[in-house]
């Protein structure tokens, strides 16, 4: 299926299917099976700043404060060492690009971590800055600036592509994407999925909400990729969230994406989803006269739609007026 080749973040992929960071990608053996099933690239299970900080706090000893710095350093080094090994082993077993993932919310350890991740052989780094902004005295723009600062610092010490995976809790994703492009981001992924909280009213306790995305979630990345790819057209985009069918992959490319990140669909349907999707995409392209994904990428983004674009419409005027 040579016609499925695509370029994402400056990396050549044999097809647009990227397995997103999750429990699916936390071992080299799992990653080999995904590569053998036909994946175009793999994003490794994230190295979590939050998890590191929680473990450090758990191990701290209030009576021996002088040893706490040593404990913090040990935990960080141990977690990074495990991650470096995951990169190296995955690179040995897989014949597709391996993308490391850092999940962070402060501009702290990540410059040093990113440098070591590159040295371990990762083909790219995906930076995932996922946090809710709830401070009463929050200054508008601080959260967006944090993305730019972390990206800029990592770019100073690495040469491999840096991919920014954004949450949808942004006032204006276009403005941030423009700044990320100016500061050297190779691609953006829209959007990260927040942890979904719920409440058990019988136990009076917090419980996890729906773990998996649904097909309905696709509309949000579709909208913003459709808009962003028409305005900042030199940036590469990937859709994440709601890709539950082969048709969804076609839709995201038409909107302007170069690739998709898939997770829930594989958990729910097994890795056979990858091959089935690639077969469908190849057949659809042949049916519609396309020799490459580049020929129809962005064909339906905001630049190529006349008049008021459906991507920017926020009201259901026509829909509801016809049903009154």
Which percentage of the chain shows pLDDT scores above 70?
81
Higher per-residue confidence, 13 vs 78 = 13
**Of 18, 39, 45, nearest to 253 (Cα)?**
18
What average pLDDT does this structure show over 308-322?
55
Q: What is the pLDDT of residue 77?
A: 72
Q: Where are the beta strands (DSSP E) in 130-233?
A: 162-166, 187-190, 197-200, 205-208
Residues in Cβ contact with 82 at an 8 Å cutoff, skipping those fewer than 6 apart: none
Best-predicted range by mean pLDDT (54-58, 72-76, 111-115, 133-137): 111-115
CB 193 within 8 A of CB 160: no
Least confident of 206-210, 226-230, 235-239, 264-268: 206-210
Q: Is the dihedral of CA 193, 121, 10, 290 positive or negative?
A: negative
pTM: 0.88
Distances (CA, A) of 166 to 24, 95, 127, 224: 20, 27, 9, 11
Buried b or exposed e, range 136-147, using 16+ CB within 10 angstroms: eeeeeeebbebb
pLDDT digits (tens, 9 = 90+) for 38-85: 999 999 999 876 666 555 555 555 555 555 555 566 567 777 889 999
Residue among 197, 285, 213, 191 nearest 1 (CA): 285
pLDDT of residue 138: 64
| pLDDT for the residue 198 | 87
Long-range contacts of 294-297 (CB under 8 A, 24+ apart): 294/6, 296/253, 296/254, 297/6, 297/253, 297/254, 297/256, 297/257, 297/258
Q: Which residue has the higher pLDDT, 319 or 208?
A: 208
- What pLDDT score was predicted for residue 196? 76
Check if the beta carbon of residue 189 is closer than 8 Å to that of residue 209. no
Q: Is the pLDDT of residue 308 over 50?
A: no
Cite the DSSP H helix spans in 28-101. Answer: 28-36, 49-59, 68-93
pLDDT value of position 73 = 62
Domains of the chain are: 2-321 (3.20.20.70)
Mean predicted confidence (pLDDT) in 136-165: 89
Compute the mean pLDDT over every residue in the chain, rounded to the nearest whole number.
87
Question: From the CA atom positions of the chain, what is the Rg in Å?
Answer: 21
Q: Residue 208 is encoded by which pair of tokens?
A: 């996890």
Question: In the predicted model, is pLDDT for residue 125 greater than 90?
Answer: yes
Stretch 153-182: mean pLDDT: 94
Q: Which residues contact 86 (CB under 8 A, 6 or more apart)?
A: 26, 27, 28, 44, 45
pLDDT for the residue numbered 284: 98
Q: How far apart are CA 209 and CA 197, in angstroms?
A: 5
Whose tokens are 């954004």? That residue is 166
Contact call for residues 300 and 21 (beta carbons, < 8 A): no
CB count within 10 Å of CB 48 equals 18
């Amino acid at each position: 299926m040579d016609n499925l080749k695509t370029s994402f973040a400056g990396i050549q992929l044999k097809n647009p299917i990227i397995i997103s960071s999750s429990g699916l990608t936390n071992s080299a053996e799992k990653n080999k099976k995904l590569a053998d099933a036909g994946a175009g690239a793999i994003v490794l299970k994230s190295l979590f700043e939050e998890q590191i900080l929680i473990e450090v706090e758990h191990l701290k000893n209030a009576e021996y404060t002088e040893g706490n710095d040593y404990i913090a350093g040990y935990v960080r080094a141990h977690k990074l060492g495990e991650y470096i090994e995951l990169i190296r082993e995955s690179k040995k077993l897989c014949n597709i690009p391996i993308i490391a993932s850092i999940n962070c919310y402060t501009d702290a350890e990540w410059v040093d971590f990113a440098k070591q991740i590159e040295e371990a052989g990762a083909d790219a780094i995906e930076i995932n800055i996922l946090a809710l902004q709830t401070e009463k005295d929050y200054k508008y723009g601080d959260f967006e600036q944090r993305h730019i600062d972390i990206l800029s610092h990592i770019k100073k010490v690495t040469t491999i592509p840096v991919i920014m995976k954004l949450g949808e809790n942004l006032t204006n994703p276009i403005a941030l994407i423009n700044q990320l492009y100016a500061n050297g981001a190779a691609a953006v992924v829209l959007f990260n999925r927040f942890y979904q909280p719920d409440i058990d009213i019988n136990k009076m306790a917090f419980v996890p909400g729906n773990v998996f995305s649904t097909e309905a979630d696709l509309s949000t990345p579709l909208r913003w990729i459709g808009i962003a790819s028409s305005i900042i057209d030199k940036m590469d985009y990937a859709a994440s969230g709601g890709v539950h069918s082969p048709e969804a992959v076609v839709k995201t490319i038409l909107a302007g994406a170069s690739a998709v990140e898939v997770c829930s669909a594989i958990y729910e349907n097994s890795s056979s989803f990858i091959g089935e999707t690639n077969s469908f995409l190849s057949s659809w392209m042949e049916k519609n006269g396309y020799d490459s994904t580049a020929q129809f990428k962005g064909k339906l983004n905001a630049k190529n739609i006349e008049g008021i674009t459906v991507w920017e419409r926020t009201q259901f005027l026509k829909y509801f007026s016809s049903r009154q």
